[in-house]
């Protein structure tokens, strides 16, 4: 049986990436690289409980949702942000690790708003 993914799992994976720091954003747990957030608890009431928001470009987000809508989604609140919502109950640790590493690289390349 696959291991259940929790925010502790997210923390272990994220903090294993060199240079990543843990913080808070809007009262929820988040992870930053060079001061830029790349993942965090989806705290808006439109998000399902136990969801993680992960920063990425819109094309990648749309592809993930099209490929695995049971795992990845967005809501009206998040639709204009370059991010995807991830149901932790549906994602496996390997996919989560790849997602967090890609989001970290993406955030590192982004200019500060």
Helix (H, G, I), strand (E, B) or coil at 26: coil
Residue 1 pLDDT: 46
Identify the structural domains of the chain with CATH numbers, from first to last. 7-109 (3.90.1150.30)
- DSSP H or E segment with residue 25: strand 20-25
CB 46 within 8 A of CB 78: yes
Q: What is the pLDDT of residues 19-55, one digit of tens each?
A: 999 999 999 999 999 999 999 999 999 999 999 999 9
Burial class (CB in 10 A: 0-12, 13-18, 19+), 93: middle
Split at pLDDT 50, 70, 90, the class of 112 is low
Name the more confident of 50 and 110: 50
| Residue 2: pLDDT band with limits 50, 70, 90 | low
- For residue 34, is it left (φ>0), alpha (ψ between -120 and 50) or beta? left
Which two tokens mark 113? 């708003």
């Amino acid at each position: 049986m696959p291991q259940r993914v929790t925010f502790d799992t997210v923390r272990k994976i994220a903090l294993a990436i060199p240079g990543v720091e843990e913080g808070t954003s809007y009262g929820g747990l988040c992870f930053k690289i060079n001061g830029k957030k790349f993942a965090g608890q989806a705290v808006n009431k439109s998000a399902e409980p136990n969801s993680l928001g992960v920063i990425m470009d819109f094309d990648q987000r749309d592809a993930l949702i099209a490929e695995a809508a049971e795992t990845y989604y967005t809501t009206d609140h998040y639709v204009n942000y370059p991010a995807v919502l991830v149901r932790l109950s549906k994602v496996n640790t390997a996919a989560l690790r790849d997602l967090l590493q890609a989001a970290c690289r993406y955030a590192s390349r982004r200019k500060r708003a």
